[in-house]
Structure 1
Amino acid sequence: MHRIPITLPFSRQELALIAITVVWGATFLIIHAALHHSGPLFFVGLRFVTAGLMMALVFRRTLGGLTLRELMAGVLVGISIVGGYGLQTWGLQTISISQSAFITALYVPIVPLLQWAVLRRPPHLMSWLGIGCAFAGLILLAGPQAGALSLSIGELATLGSAVAIAAEIILIGRFAGSVDSRRVTVVQLLVGGVLSLLLVPAAGEQVPVFSWVLTGSVLGLGAASAVIQLTMNWAQKSVSPTRATVIYAGEPVWGGVFGRLAGDRLPAMALLGAALIVAGVIISELRPSSWRRRP
């Protein structure tokens, strides 16, 4: 009797990316709770320093082989982490978990725009369609006034975080194939955390009093951040940016689910806007010409 081999629709790397989108979505809820006990930059700094120290302990035997290229890659990604997670956390002080999750997802259609501006690679037609769809969704999600896009400070900060996260994705894709994922992960986490803490005085934040909620959030999100960054660096060695980006489209959906559990109740037009953003994320990465070439 012959056994019929079972072929999974996803590789191990793709399944890992799917898993971290669930974890990523849950972090919005934890951050929202932690911000009652800490300023955004101080919290982001503690989160990523903790994550970096965890990874340094786990991979301490490999750190001796750190190269100049890996150090440069880690520093650049670490700087983008400060912008991405710092602005996102700051925005969560004034907007809902669901709004933050869906606006953050705009990093996907922003990626081709950044590639056009920096690398002179014009976006594909589907990218333009996805950008238009996502922008329409942003208008509905933000709540337009008199037909114009009216973003609050928190929404603008979160939109800025999407730009920084898009830069992070481009940088990871640029270096993933030529560096050691473990060493780069340690460097980028520590750089992101230390830079955030150095910016605390400039932002006028105060060091918060001790809180078990804050401590638990830092430890939990530190471990989650370490796993997320390491998984992205590892998986994107073999998963194409297009495939990875479509998988990441599930992250705001999970963020919306956890936001709903936390009590978010978006109006119907905002829900439509959220759906348009997710649709725009997926459309921007579709390439119909590649479908016709497949047997």
Structure 2
Amino acid sequence: MSSQTADSRPSLVWVALSIVYVVWGSTYLGIHYLIETIPPMVGAGIRFVVASVLLAAVLAIRSGGVRVLRVPWRRLGTAALAGVLLLTGGNGMIGVAEQHMSTGLAALLVASVPLWLVVFRWATGDRPAVSTIAGVLVGFGGLALLTLTRGGGSGSALGVAIVLGAALSWSVGSFLSARLPMPANPFVASVYEMAAAGVTLLVIGLGRGERLHLHEVSQASWLGLAYLVTFGSLVAFTSYVWLLGNAPISLVGTYAYVNPAVAVLLGVAFAGENATWTIVAGGLIIILGVGLVVSTERRPRGEVTAPAPPGTPRRRRERRRSPRASRSTPGRPPRRTGVR
């Protein structure tokens, strides 16, 4: 590596991290403007279909042909499943929820994703550290406060239920995508994830009666859609994937508790939302819990218990270094779940 490259890498890391912080935190505001005059599911469907086509075109041009997009049918199927869980059930429902709640409250409830991932690990036999469990309990305490008070009147019970379901769907998709055979190239995987999610969202949206009337779409909604396609689904994701290969995963994982703060501030500044005391208190508690989980899981472990194959007697499980075990921690963002 040249000295120039080595010297510029720390700066590039912070540029890419700043993009992930700000852009992913701002997607909630982008959705707010999108759904002003575009139906939420149809709008999200258009977003992901267009983004998948653009990303596929870029990959084909850079690789000299469409061969880069060829993957085995099984991996194509699992990528599509991940896309439906992550982007249809997860991201797509955020637009529906924001019809009934503020962007800041939605972002704070979605911040519970790393907490759910710890719960899934526990359910599958991976016992996290005591401090990780403490972080989960703290985070769920903040989640309960926001849910029971609906953010101090910043959202309806329906909106809260929808966004909690979206966070759960995103968590399931994140958990499974780390364990299913996916396309080796994360950009190719994202093409099929976004394509599957976009088509599914369009089918569901049109099926439930959503219609796009072009003459009624405002300039703000068009700008919101363009922003979500270019920055939310392409620029930020590219930065995220680059970070995974060039920065400590503990640093990359900080996006999980920075994005909600960015979303709340932007909602207050540009959408006229109020930061009620319950949003501030509940948000701080959730961020504290997530921060505790991430900081605990990022600590170096010389020895971890490797997950044993199904049916392996407990006494035969050996303690050894396990890259797979580290991949399942919420402190490391799932490799293919960064599309917002």
Q: Could you say whether these structures have the same fold, taking a TM-score greater than 0.5 normalized by the shorter chain as the test? A: yes
RMSD: 3.2
By relative contact order (CA 8 Å, sep 6+), the higher-ranking structure is 1
- Normalised by the length of structure 1, the TM-score is 0.83
Q: 1:151 to 1:218 in 2, by over 3 A?
A: closer
| Partner AA of 1:203 in structure 2 | R
Q: Does 1:21 align with 2:27?
A: no
Distance (Å, rounded) in 2 between the aligned partners of 1:282 and 1:162: 18
1:74 deviates by 2.6
Q: 1:57 to 1:220 in 2, by over 3 A?
A: same
User: Aligned runs of 1:81-160 on 2, under 5 Å?
Assistant: 81-117=87-123, 119-144=124-149, 152-160=157-165
Q: 1:88 to 1:58 in 2, by over 3 A?
A: same
**C-alpha distance after superposition, 1:217-239 (max 9, x if no partner):** 22221112122334444433565
Instruction: Give the structure 1 partner of residue 39 of structure 2.
Output: 39
User: Aligned runs of 1:204-243 on 2, under 5 Å?
Assistant: 204-210=209-215, 211=217, 212-224=219-231, 225-237=233-245, 242-243=250-251
Distance (Å, rounded) in 1 between the aligned partners of 2:135 and 2:201: 33
Listed as ranges, the gaps of 5+ residues in structure 1 are: none
Q: 1:241 to 1:70 in 2, by over 3 A?
A: farther
1:140 deviates by 2.6
Match of 1:257 among 265, 278, 282: 265
Q: 1:56 to 1:171 in 2, by over 3 A?
A: same
Count the aligned residue pairs. 285
Q: 1:292 to 1:52 in 2, by over 3 A?
A: closer
| Partner AA of 2:59 in structure 1 | F
Q: Does 1:179 align with 2:184?
A: yes
- Secondary structure at the aligned position of 1:287 is classed as helix
Match of 1:278 among 277, 287, 311: 287
Distance (Å, rounded) in 1 between the aligned partners of 2:253 and 2:54: 27
Percent identical: 23
Q: Is the 8 A contact 1:17 1:248 kept in 2?
A: no
1:257 deviates by 1.0
Q: Is the 8 A contact 2:78 2:181 kept in 1?
A: no
**C-alpha distance after superposition, 1:80-113 (max 9, x if no partner):** 2111112211110010111011111111111111
Q: 1:182 to 1:275 in 2, by over 3 A?
A: same
Instruction: Give the structure 2 partner of residue 164 of structure 1.
Output: 169
Q: 1:163 to 1:236 in 2, by over 3 A?
A: farther
Q: Is the 8 A contact 1:38 1:214 kept in 2?
A: yes
Distance (Å, rounded) in 2 between the aligned partners of 1:154 and 1:127: 29
- Normalised by the length of structure 2, the TM-score is 0.73
Please, which moves more after superposition, 67-76 or 95-104?
67-76
Q: Is the 8 A contact 1:41 1:200 kept in 2?
A: yes
Q: Is the 8 A contact 2:75 2:182 kept in 1?
A: no
Q: Does 1:67 align with 2:52?
A: no
Q: Is the 8 A contact 1:185 1:230 kept in 2?
A: no
Instruction: Give the structure 2 partner of residue 248 of structure 1.
Output: 256
Distance (Å, rounded) in 1 between the aligned partners of 2:210 and 2:266: 28
